[in-house]
Structure 1
Amino acid sequence: MRMHRYLGYKLAGVVVLLLWVWNGCSDKITFTETINIPGSLTVYSVPPGAAIYLDSIATGKTTSATIPEVLPGLHRLKLTLANYSDTTLLVNVPSGATAKVTVDMSSQYGTLLFVSNPSGAQIYQGNRYLGNTPISLSYVVPDSYVYVLKQPGYIDYSQSAAVLADQIDTLYYDWDALGFGSLLVTSTPAGAKITVDGAGMRPKTPTTVEKVSAGYHRIGLALPGYISAFIDTTLPSGRVLELHDSLQPVIIVINSSPPGANLFIDDNYYGLTPYTSRGVLIEGWYQIRVSKLGAQEYIQNLYLSHGDTVNVNLNILYDVIFYDDFNRPVSSLASDWSIYDDQWREWPKGTKETFQTEALCLAIPDGTRTCGYVYKRDSLYIGQVAACTLLIQQYNNSGYLAAFVNDEPLPGVSVLPGGTSKASLDKYIGRKIQLSFYGCPGVYLDNLMIIGYK
């Protein structure tokens, strides 16, 4: 009789069947068979939340998670996470056991950490405000950037950064380590030239002088007509130092006796005396010329300094009783001269004085006295003088001139074109007179003056 007996053992997913067969005194025979038992896979990721794909099939799970009932052997594991690169690897799942794997995800972006001394600086990329230090900026697209930090009272501080994927870089801004700063220089009035430590003329105020080495400096301000000023200061590293000075004008006074004289400085007309230069002249050498009708001209080279007062005493040669150069608007001429038949006009010619913008003369139309083209000056009084003379200067005209005083012919006034004539008015001293003129065929009065000698 044949007897069969089976004994089974489960060893690590392998079932071993032992079969003893007794057939008389027959030998023992052993049969072995291997059977695969499913295992499991536990997946972790840094950071977590990645979607899990196994053998290109979505599991519907995200890390951290365990996938059960995985056939033993090699499998292709894929993890996907927003802002991170997809990660694929092979994992070996043992039969009847659990395989564990941890994946560090690689970010598609870089991270920048901004630190500054002092902290609290504003961060800009172009015109875009990013925040204040200290701050960490994530998800920065890999590229090259320039970042500018701004801090009140400090210079703008820029640095460039090459951002790489899945890397953290630190940008440190230390104003104290720069070794230079800026000077914001202003003045009242503006327009002063700037020197730093006595050298290098800078732009005029207001301006910012950049990249000045940290430490002690002497700032000079120079403006024509004002006293030069100096500011001593110490510039801290990285700082913007504001400097201001109210400049004091150079004041020079020029008087004359008698007053009302024409003042020329280096042949430039400055007006009538008394004259006060406030912020106009600088200290230095000048030619001073003072002139007045009836006085000897004063000419002198003088060194003028701030606070100087120049007093000029003119030597009077004669008294000017009446003077008219006709260098003024027509309306003003009309108020001074009475015109018969309204036949009169200005003429834009004549002898131009240095202080005049243009030279004008009084044009007498063609005609004879019977035509009524007569000009007269009313109610002119000749005071008590020893002698009195009428001086008449004509422009380049084409005729001759005749004059009357109180309708009486005035001898001596018959000048040729462009000439000057003199006529005595001694008989009218102490009296009021009227002057009348006519010309033929055309006369242009350039200057008319009555002088008296004492």
Structure 2
Amino acid sequence: MKWFIIALILVFVLIVIPGFSDTNQSQAGYLSIISSPSGATVTFDGINSGVTPVIIPIPNSSRLPHSITLEMTGYQDWTTTVNKNPDTGSVETISATLTDSTDTGTIQVISDPTGATATCDGSNTQLTPYTYRGLSPGKHEISLSLNGYYPYSTTISVASGAESVISAALSPEETRSTGSISVSSDPTGATVTLDEMQSKITPNTFTNVKTGTHTIEIKKSGYSSYTSTVTVTSGVESEISASLSRVKNTGSLTVNSDPSGASIYLNNVYYGISPIHIDTLDTGIYTIKAEKSSYNSDTEIINLIKGQENTVQLTLSSKMPERPFNRWMDIAPMGIPLGGDIPMGSPGMPPGPR
């Protein structure tokens, strides 16, 4: 039977197609669609194109892809997609074997408003109203979505040979319940942002906030930022009160000395022995002094800048030790020793009795 149908189609191509104009032949190929059993209704790119077997001329410039659906009472719908136009003058055959649907059921999906996107078991996307056919007996999930309306989902049981009906009245989103969020801060005058979109200055209240969880962020120059989540309930005002912590302007300082082990003073306040590192030091002008026994002290003045690591190197010079007085070496002018008798033969004095 199948070969007979194919032969019939070829005869049709050889006899009927030449009746087309030369122009059409030069610009089109052909799709031959057959089914087992024959007599199925063919929908090509959304247009009823007869019953199987059928030949459809396809211009070379036709937009791809092409959608083909075969429907027949008592059988499951059959669908395929064609991603290439037939070559000019050629005939390509599409053969479909339809499956008996006596052991399957259907689901008719209706929505208000119509035009909602429907899926069956997470696939087979269609627009309502639509009837899903050839479904196996058991439970199936139908989901609907439409811009401006709440999503809709339900589970329905399908019986063999029976049709189940879903009629869904979609709810507009604008009817969603709302609440409000009151925000205060210490200090006041901080910028508060709701869900990274809407901003106000504290103290303030966000009204007509959709129910659910939202994020609040509060910022003020010179203070640490504050972030919190809040759950909004229909008709209820939620409150957030934030105490902001001041951020200090600080820097860090490292003091080295040569030699090390010197006592380090900042603005005459002792901080420790070098080398020393000081974190979170308030910014400003500092006089840094290093002292060590037997060394001359060294001092440097710096301007400590916020967020910067400052390093100071101090160099201490050694003190000359004091020599004890030597009456014979510490000679005054004319060779007279300081604080003593004149020795015999001292420089600058002639020899002889005194």
Note whether the superposition's TM-score is higher than 0.5.
no
Work out which of the two has the higher radius of gyration on C-alpha atoms and give 1 or 2.
1
The answer to which structure has the higher strand fraction is 1
TM-score when normalising by structure 1? 0.27
The answer to which structure has the higher helix fraction is 2
